């Protein structure tokens, strides 16, 4: 199928959403955990977490603060300054999916979707107990994307929990072993297997490696 | 394994790179195709492509313009205004990986890594012929991330090529059928299978669906 820009504008809204949310390829399935003093805890599925840098360790994600679901996460992060990023494991991807429902502010998706809040040490935001990989984040910067009134939220990694059996000596995580899920589009969930591993690419080795 | 922020700072550099590049979960493997009038074509693997919006159809990715590899892509996009995003298929993930080597500006990674340039219609940037899903992009905005001197490059989807057999009636792509690859960390490549599909999440259905 071939679509031009104007074909895309002319698509039925749902079909456009599905296609444009699918074409970037596989996306990581993560749950963002937040809490507000008055409104309580909140957890929502996000497929836009992206690596920003390793030193300092920064991760970002895209949020549309005007959207009903994103707004609670946004307000909580701005109020509290801390949040968590938790891998969705394939065993609870259905529960994770339903955190995207538009629950009113003050209703806990942890409770409604059957996920367990976990507080670790004195970290101020809830982790998802069932998640294989859990990351405690401190908010650093909010970058407005004026083109469509979305924002990138950037935080610094303050805590990381990784099961020993999924990490090798060099620090690589085996996401197949972890059982982490991926997302395509808005509602398809995937599992993965490692298919290849290649060394750091050096110009002087390319010909030999690919020859 | 549990790491605090200061543990992360104190890690060996390579191990820190590996861990922080792995913890976000699976990342999409895409090739960015660009061209400069004088320096010729360029193609480089990027794992940070992210959905920004569907209407207008915006996609973004993170670039460190100071880096040797990213700089050529950046200069070409700024010169030309058009670029392509192409899924890495599992059949050529090794070739795709080696586009990350620091070839001098003016050397074509298409040629060095054995990937075929493809020019479609009068679109001004090279697609990757072998890719199952190809997207022609027009540059829209460059957003500086001052925290670590990286940038988010946002473009609008101008053309999309999707094999008919991987898309369903509703516009969802089956990435398993597509054979698209994912990346964990810097050098591990993954294939995927669909494990679940759930309807749009409505508050009134959550209890019944998860009960």
Q: What is the pLDDT of residue B57?
A: 98
Q: Which of the residues in chain A have pLDDT under 70?
A: none
> Taking 90 as the threshold, does the pLDDT of residue B69 lie above it?
no
B56 preceded by cis ω (within 30°)?
yes
Strand bridging mode B117-118 / A150-161: unpaired
Q: What is the pLDDT of residue B128?
A: 98
The rounded distance, in Å, linking the Cα atoms of A207 and A49 is: 34
What are the C-alpha distances in Å from B64 to residues A100, A152, B36, B56, B200?
Answer: 32, 17, 19, 25, 36
The rounded distance, in Å, linking the Cα atoms of B143 and B141 is: 6
Average pLDDT of chain B to the nearest whole number: 95
pLDDT band at B66 (very low <50, low <70, confident <90, very high): confident
Rg (CA), chain B: 19
Q: List chain B residues with CB under 8 Å of A95.
A: 210
The per-residue b/e assignment along B108-142, b for 16 or more CB within 10 angstroms, e otherwise, is: bbbebbebebbeeeebebbbbebbbbbbbbbbbbe
Q: What is the pLDDT of residue B64?
A: 85
> Pick from B172, B181, B186: which is nearest to A22 by CB?
B172
What are the C-alpha distances in Å from B37 to residues A186, B41, B76, B79, B199?
Answer: 39, 8, 9, 9, 47
**Shortest distance, CA A189 to any CA of chain B (angstroms):** 5
Q: What is the pLDDT of residue B107?
A: 95
**Shortest distance, CA A126 to any CA of chain B (angstroms):** 16
Q: List chain A residues with CB under 8 Å of B202.
A: 101-102
- Cβ-defined contact of A170 to B14 (cutoff 8 Å): yes
| Residue whose token pair is 């970290």 | A123
- Cβ-defined contact of B192 to A187 (cutoff 8 Å): no
Where would I find the beta strands (DSSP E) of chain B? 2-4, 27-28, 30-36, 40-46, 50-54, 57-63, 82-87, 117-118, 127-128, 134-145, 150-161, 182-184, 188-197
The rounded distance, in Å, linking the Cα atoms of B115 and B99 is: 10
- Cβ-defined contact of A195 to B172 (cutoff 8 Å): no
CB atoms within 10 A of CB B86: 28
User: CB of B64 within 8 A of CB of B152?
Assistant: no
Q: Which of B17, B26, B187, B204 is best to mutate for the A interface (most A CBs within 10 A)?
A: B26
- Cβ-defined contact of A1 to B163 (cutoff 8 Å): yes
> Taking 80 as the threshold, does the pLDDT of residue B68 lie above it?
no
Q: Which residues touch A149 (CB under 8 Å, ≥6 apart)?
A: A64, A66
Direct distance between the N- and C-terminal alpha carbons of chain A, in angstroms, rounded to an integer: 34
User: CB of B126 within 8 A of CB of B108?
Assistant: no
- Cβ-defined contact of B2 to A201 (cutoff 8 Å): no
Q: List chain B residues with CB under 8 Å of A2.
A: 159-162
Q: List chain A residues with CB under 8 Å of B200.
A: 186-187
Model confidence pTM above 0.90: yes
- Cβ-defined contact of B206 to A98 (cutoff 8 Å): yes
> Pick from B20, B102, B154: which is nearest to A57 by CB?
B20
pLDDT tens digits for range B80-134: 999 999 999 999 999 999 999 999 999 999 999 999 999 998 999 999 999 999 9
Q: Which of A45, A137, A201, A47 is nearest to B99 (CA)?
A: A201
Q: List chain A residues with CB under 8 Å of B105.
A: none
DSSP 3-state of A59: strand
Chain B residue closest in CA terms to A131: B25
A110 preceded by cis ω (within 30°)?
no
pLDDT tens digits for range B152-165: 999 999 999 999 99
Average pLDDT of chain A to the nearest whole number: 95
Tell me the percentage of chain A whose pLDDT exceeds 90: 93
Q: List chain A residues with CB under 8 Å of B141.
A: 145-147
Beta bridge partners of B204: none
Q: What is the pLDDT of residue A70?
A: 86
pLDDT band at B65 (very low <50, low <70, confident <90, very high): confident
Q: What is the pLDDT of residue B154?
A: 98
Burial degree of A37 (CB within 10 A; 0-12, 13-18, 19+): exposed
- Cβ-defined contact of A148 to B196 (cutoff 8 Å): no
């Amino acid at each position: 199928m071939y679509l031009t820009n104007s074909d895309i504008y002319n698509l039925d809204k749902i079909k456009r959403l599905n296609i444009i949310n699918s074409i970037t390829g596989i996306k990581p399935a993560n749950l963002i955990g937040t809490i507000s003093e008055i409104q309580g805890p909140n957890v929502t599925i996000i497929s836009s977490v992206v690596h920003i840098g390793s030193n300092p360790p920064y991760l970002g994600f895209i949020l549309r603060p005007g959207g009903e679901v994103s707004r609670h996460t946004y307000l909580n992060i701005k109020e509290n300054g801390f949040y968590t990023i938790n891998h969705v494991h394939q065993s609870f991807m259905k529960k994770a999916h339903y955190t995207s429902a538009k629950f009113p502010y003050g209703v806990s998706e942890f409770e409604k979707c059957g996920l367990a809040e976990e507080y670790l040490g004195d970290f101020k935001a809830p982790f998802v107990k069932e998640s294989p990989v859990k990351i405690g984040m401190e908010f650093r910067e909010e970058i407005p994307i004026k083109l469509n009134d979305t924002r990138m939220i950037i935080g610094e990694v303050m805590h990381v929990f990784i099961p020993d059996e999924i990490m090798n000596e060099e620090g690589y995580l085996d996401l197949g072993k972890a059982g982490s899920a991926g997302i395509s589009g808005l509602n398809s969930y995937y599992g993965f297997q490692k298919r290849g591993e290649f060394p750091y690419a050096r110009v002087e080795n390319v010909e030999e490696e690919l020859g």
